[in-house]
Amino acid sequence: MIDTIMSEKIDDIDIQILKHLQSDSSQSLDSLAQICGVSINTCWRRVQRLERDGIIERRVALIDNDKVGLPLTVFVAVKTDDHSAAWAEKFRSAVDKMPEIVEFYRLAGEVDYILKIMVASVADYDRVYQRLITKVSLADVSASFAMEKLKFTTELPLPPT
């Protein structure tokens, strides 16, 4: 049982539903209900609630990046010397508008930010990089190119039920 910020609780059945939907959201309510040992109706109501409460954020199709010509993943570590809120907001806004940047976190420690960028080629990465540094000034940028994707999942480590 997970205790959320909201007054709502997530019980074991919810966790089972979430586990299955985060692994495969294309299965029918019917099979989901059977796996979770509840009626279709109960299952439907719980899924509705999980969606309404934003526990299920969205349902998406995951696309093979290699097959659509985006084989290169780059991790970019950024340090800044400008720690003002205005600069941070400018950076955030610039990144937001760049679809090649798929992940973006502010970190504690040595490195201030990390970006994950998906592109077609090193040349393509350079174009993204150039575009970014014209929008916002970065003190130090260090790119690491991924040679091999060994694991990628959107499935969160939910507790065993």
Partner DNA sequence: TTTGAAATGGATTCGGC
Partner DNA sequence: GCCGAATCCATTTCAAA
Minimal distance, residue 46 CB to DNA, in Å:
7
Find out whether 16 and 6 touch, Cβ atoms under 8 Å.
no
The reply to whether 114 sits near a copy of itself by the rule CB under 8 A is yes
Minimal distance, residue 41 CB to a copy of itself, in Å:
19
Minimal distance, residue 81 CB to a copy of itself, in Å:
18
Burial of 71 (0-12, 13-18, 19+ CB in 10 A): middle
Residues in 129-148 at the binding interface with a copy of itself, rule: CB under 8 A: 144-148
Distance CA 92, CA 71 (A): 25
Write out the two tokens for 115: 């970006």
Binding site for DNA (CB under 7 A): 28-30, 38-42, 44-45, 48
* 3-state SS, residue 121: coil
Distance CA 84, CA 25 (A): 42
Nearer to DNA, 39 or 144 (CB): 39
Residues in 10-69 at the binding interface with a copy of itself, rule: CB under 8 A: 10, 18, 21-26, 53-69
* 3-state SS, residue 23: helix
Minimal distance, residue 40 CB to a copy of itself, in Å:
18
* 3-state SS, residue 25: coil
Residue 21 partner contact from DNA, a copy of itself, none using kind-dependent CB cut-offs of 5 to 8 Å = a copy of itself
